[in-house]
Amino acid sequence: MAPQGPDRAAGRGRAEGAEPVTTAAVKVPTFDCRKAFAEELIALAREDDRIVAVCNDSVGSSNLTGFRDEFPDRLINVGIAEQDLVGVGAGLANGGMIPFVSAASPFLTGRALEQIKADVAYSRAKVVLCGQSPGMAYGELGPTHHSIEDLSWMRAVADLPIVVPADPAQTRAAVRWAAANDGPSFLRIGRHPVPAVHPEGTEFVPGKAIRLTDGDDLAVVATGTMVSRALEAAEILRAEGIGLRVLNVAYVEPLDTDAVLQAASGTRGVITAEEATTTGGLGAAVATLLAENAPTRMRILGIHREFAPTGSTDFLLDHFGLSTAGIVAAARELA
């Protein structure tokens, strides 16, 4: 068992003991971001014949059946072979294509990490790495299929932007951005259902964090699945008189340092929230920035170097305090 220090019990890790939280909000519709990913990729492929999808037998799990039906020649399936998958993607990019290399995130980033480093990032090959079903989206399938290490691993690689969209609209914008970007990128495409968190007409500016609520007491810097939970937490805390500023940081790398520094200087504390191990992801990026430039009280929510027990994705998110209750508990400590 991992040690259970006071910090962890106090909400840095699991939120056991935190009061269950219910919100007044009506149940809102939720979405699998892979669908938006696939639809946008097909739309792009209609406009640009350089777009190809490359997968590792993951036509179904990457939601690429529609792409394959419409562009059978532009769906390259290398079979169950992730090292080959990423190398082939780099070669396609060198040959003038725009490859979206798509696989379940644990296998894409873990099995082919050296190819991502050497063939893609170091070679500056314009490959769009699409890590599907990241975090603990595979729930009961267990830690072999969870991808909580990917943000740490990808952040350790130079010259590789990392984008974690929070909802379908941002997923579409990320796909468009990656296709136009001059260089490689890693997109983390969520499977676990999330609500739409951006108001109609939100402008997605590449590299920029999006401030979703105002609040001058505390800030939560969240990414991916955690953004909607942060919004729910802000609503609960408002009733308690705590103003929580919610910042959606989809561009984990390079980080929007201005937005994070403003959040730190404009509030009394910063909470980070990500569905990932805390060794090197968003929380680590924010902590490093703030430690060097604006020391700030922080709570870093994520998974603290621990393999998950058996359970559904929602159970595991709650278990590790990656829940509305977990964010509320962390905020109450900092407030």
40 binds another protein (CB under 8 A): no
Least Cβ distance, residue 300 to another protein (angstroms)? 33
Spatial separation of the C-alpha atoms in residues 282 and 224, rounded to whole Å: 11
End-to-end CA distance of the chain: 31
DSSP percent split of the chain into helix, strand, coil, nearest 5: 40, 20, 40
Build a one-symbol-per-residue string for 84-123: x at contacts with another protein by CB under 8 A, - elsewhere.
x-xxxxxxxxxxxx-x--------------xx--xx--xx
The SS3 call for residue 273 is strand
Contact status, residue 184 vs residue 310, Cβ threshold 8 Å: no
Q: Between 284 and 323, how does the x/- string for binding to another protein read (CB under 8 A)?
A: ----------------------------------------
> How far from chain centre, in Å, is Cα 75?
25
120-159 footprint of another protein as x/- string (CB under 8 A): --xxxx----------------------------------
> In the stretch 48-77, what mask flags binding to another protein with x, by CB under 8 A?
----x--------------------xx-x-
In the complex, minimum distance from the CB of residue 100 to another protein, in angstroms, rounded to a whole number: 13
In the complex with another protein, the residue whose CB is nearer, 101 or 166, is 101
Note whether 62 and 34 are within 8 A (CB): yes
Helix (H, G, I), strand (E, B) or coil at 210: strand
Give the type of residue at 3: P
What's at 147, amino acid-wise? S
Closest contact distance (angstroms) between CB of 98 and another protein is: 10
Q: Which two tokens stand for residue 228?
A: 């909607």
Which residues bind to another protein, rule: CB under 8 A?
52, 73-74, 76, 78-79, 81, 83-84, 86-97, 99, 114-115, 118-119, 122-125
